[in-house]
Structure 1
Amino acid sequence: MKKIILIFICMIFIFFLISKPKLNITSSIIFDPQSIWIPTIATHSVDGDVTSLINESDDSTSVVDNNEYIDITLWNETMNPSATDIVVIFYFEVDVTDTNFEWHVNITSPASLAGEACLIDPNGVPGNYSCNLTAAGVDTPDELNSLDVRLIGVENPDQGPPDNGEVDYVYLNITYILIPYLQVSLEEPPSITNIPQNQTFTVNATVYCQNGECGNVQGIVRYNSTGLNPDQAISTIPGAEPFYVLEQNPLSCPTNPLTDGEFCNLTWRVNATGQIGSDWKVGVLFSSDDPSVSDNHTSNSTVSITTCTIDIDAAWSRIDFGVLQPGQSIEAPGNQNHLYNITILDTTTCPSDIYLMGTDLQNGTSIIGVGNITWNSTQVSQKSLSKTYQLAGSSLDSGTNLTTFYWISVPTGIPWGKYNGTLYVKGVQSGTQP
């Protein structure tokens, strides 16, 4: 069964919907890098933007008086979402500080971790001071990527001037374990695919090596033998049911071993031998000979084994009746040139019937009933379009063009303007209902 959906804009548009599989991710440890993050947005509670004063160690400083603070709300880096074992240390360099001046390091974002992380008292001694933010809960990529820090200066006890400190350099020192993983996607077949019995279809999948060395990678195409998801390799023995592969299964990536950022694309030709009417889930499992790299499975497509395949297409994308005036009768502009052809493609494997169905046309709250649109496969008599499917052509072989024609009778008492609606075109096996 094949359906084409077309939209009236007092016109008709044609849409082909393609489902693109999401990427699944699994991973394991490979190396342990370190990163220094510096502020790209830092705002003093009184002086405003002080980013340039605190993002490097030099003689330019930001002066923080009693109960003033600096908010750091953006950093120059982001953390890879696959990182684990994250340790975040907040550093700040104090050039000058009053003996009684304390520094409070507060987390202001994420909200779940908001509060004081450290209280640091330099006791009047300049130098580099640190606060372990992971001890305060910052230990995931999401938390780190949303991290905002407030550095507050407080004289305790307040003994009058001088009552401030000067901050020269603020940064994060981050260590983490980065994980290599196989990023995979199923390119073919589409998420829902009808395959005639004993016909061949293509399974195509891509694997990317991310975050390190992935070793020798292979893919194996599978189907759901016993469960809801693929759990069994498709056989390479001709005639095996419900599928067999014409190539080897598994297949290895031709550029093995895969390095960081490298990908490979694998293709299998699969013959559908199962019972007519049966449905199967098909996908690809990728794995590596490196035990530190975990297996990963693509999303799955549903393959339905049918008696035949019906593929139809339309060379036209719209029917434009223009601006409608009450009481008008309008012939579609493509009628004279036989523009509105529906083609039974050569990939169709059985005689087909074509059906049409429409919706009301709308312009805001104004409606023209679908029955005001008429159609036919000749230019002589006209049939009112309906909200249920109507037979437009029967027993059509592959390669056949079915030419259709359209008219509209605009009722009186409605506003003039553009009216929008939808025309559905569906192909089914001859003698069956849509």
Structure 2
Amino acid sequence: MKIAVAKEARDGESRVAMVPELVAKLTGLGYDVAVEPGAGLHALIADEEYAAAGAVLDDAAFDGADLVVSVQPLAAERIRGLARGTTTISFLPVNQEPETVVELRDAGVTAHAVELIPRISRAQSMDALSSQALVSGYRCAIVAAGMLRRFLPLNMTAAGTVQAAEVVVLGAGVAGLQAIATAKRLGAVVRAYDVRAAAAEEIRSMGAKAIDLQLETLEGAGGYAREMTEDRAARQRDLLTPYIAAADALITTAAVPGRTAPMLVTREMVEQMKPGSVVVDLAAETGGNVEGSVAGEVVRIGNAQVWGGRNVPSQMPGPASKLYAQNVVNLVTLMTTRDDEGHALFAPDYADEILSGSCVTQDGRIVHEPTREQIEGPAQPGPEPEPQPEPEPEPETSAPPDEQLDLPYDQEADQ
């Protein structure tokens, strides 16, 4: 059984789907691991490290592979070169890349999207969204600190006192909590807000102050927030405005996978910030939490510099790759069984909700129903079954008394 590790080809992608220190876990399961030369180059991992860990460096790593792992989806020409029945594991934004899903379907490839893994406790070790959000949250705080032209911590010196910077974080998911923790460790005064009631305690546990707007909470499924009405969104923006105006740095992290990010901060709100202030919008790539932010660019709105995040985990490829690779190993382990002789078999059990939930295409079909409806439309009703003639009634017979005593007897129904 062979696992191939792809060299990422998309511009700006620096991560790799497997790191040398975890290759041994795959070979220990009984797999051969083939790595495309240069796969780890941008993550500062040399080919020799993979070879020393037991992997084979091979330009034709995909040939004969049962499983191909990557960070980004494979390009169309690479998908067409895979043997039918090959399985892939990667991020796969089905709403943004329906053409890739069609290529996978037509090639007969079984594709798993890591962002579709159910958010249940048993799947936490495979949750790539959370592992990469951890990296993103840290990076956001570092970007804010680097762009801000003042100290973050309080400094008391013989020449005078320099007050700590004030940082506001919107969104207290994995990324937001990591941004809070990092800014707090750097010495800033941190305030944070999230629409979910449970988030307030988590914010305080990071040492920050939870902003209470006295609005109804919006708890949703899977740990995400429910979508809010426009009226509530407007009231929320009005109440947040004074906190944002007082901040030296604003970090926004609110995002829902596969959907446009909610717009939390208007241009007018940013224009009220102080000269030299900084805004970091982690969600810029999916529409942005801040009106006017641009993914991959720094723009000026009023007195503030607004940094739009683009593939933020890839900006720290070393830790991001290690965490993602561990997610992949855990998912592969779930897909692995052993035969009677102890040999590893790549045999995913699609009765498992983790595997069925993350599977997008299989056997030439799109099996993820929302994606199938988006691409192929609603399922067409089948032909009406032909009417069957009614069976001839059987002649009535009476059972002997002894047989009647042996019939099932529902005491609860009788009572």
User: Which category of TM-score, normalised to the shorter sequence, fits these structures?
Assistant: under 0.3
TM-score, length of structure 2 as denominator length: 0.20
Which has the higher Rg, Structure 1 or Structure 2? 1
Of Structure 1 and Structure 2, which has the larger fraction of its residues in strand? 1
Of Structure 1 and Structure 2, which has the larger fraction of its residues in helix? 2
